[in-house]
């Protein structure tokens, strides 16, 4: 079984808001000049912001935040966010890997940006009432 894909738009304004909320003002998240100087293709989204968006999708599929039992990822590719009004999009999908005897559903999660996977080993365990 697969869950319906969810798409999240990410703009530079989102990165500014996240930096304020998280306290992570690293210039790779707001300065093209700095980001390219350190070898990145441009300003990138905070990894934890990307993970939070994926977590939002998992929470929606599960039906409530307390239904998410476990969630983990590895970051594999940065999400580059252009300096325009459109930003970029992260698409999140998941498929059921296993339903346990105690009613837990284990998911394999995929997050992509511009067709490239941005997370690996993205997995979640949820309690569902489906």
The pTM for the full model equals 0.94
CATH assignment of the domain containing 41: 3.10.129.10
- Arithmetic mean of pLDDT, 3-8: 97
Q: Which residue has the tokens 């530079």?
A: 12
Specify the number of domains making up the chain.
Answer: 1
Euclidean distance between CA atoms 94 and 82, whole angstroms? 26
pLDDT of residue 129: 60
Q: Are 73 and 119 in contact (CB under 8 A)?
A: yes
Q: For 78-110, write each residue's pLDDT tens digit.
A: 999 999 999 999 999 999 999 999 999 999 999
The domain in which residue 20 lies consists of 2-127
Q: For 20-37, write each residue's pLDDT tens digit.
A: 999 999 999 999 999 999
pLDDT of residue 128: 72
Whether 130 has a pLDDT exceeding 70, the answer reads: no
Q: Are 109 and 58 in contact (CB under 8 A)?
A: yes
Q: For 41-75, write each residue's pLDDT tens digit.
A: 999 999 999 999 999 999 999 999 999 999 999 99
Q: Are 112 and 90 in contact (CB under 8 A)?
A: yes
Q: For 114-125, write each residue's pLDDT tens digit.
A: 999 999 999 999
Cα distances from 75 to residues 1, 25, 109, 110, in angstroms, run 25, 19, 13, 12
């Amino acid at each position: 079984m697969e869950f319906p894909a969810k798409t999240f738009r990410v703009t530079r304004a989102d990165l500014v808001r996240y930096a304020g909320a998280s306290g992570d003002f690293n210039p790779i998240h707001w300065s093209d000049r700095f980001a390219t100087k350190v070898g990145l293709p441009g300003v990138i989204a905070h990894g934890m912001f990307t993970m939070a968006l994926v977590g939002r999708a998992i929470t929606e599929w599960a039906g409530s935040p307390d239904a998410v039992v476990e969630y983990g990822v590895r970051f594999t590719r940065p999400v580059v966010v252009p300096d325009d009004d459109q930003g970029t999009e992260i698409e999140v999908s998941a498929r059921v890997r296993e339903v346990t005897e105690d009613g837990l559903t284990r998911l394999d999660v995929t997050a992509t940006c511009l067709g490239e996977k941005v997370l690996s080993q993205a997995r979640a365990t949820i309690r569902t009432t489906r």
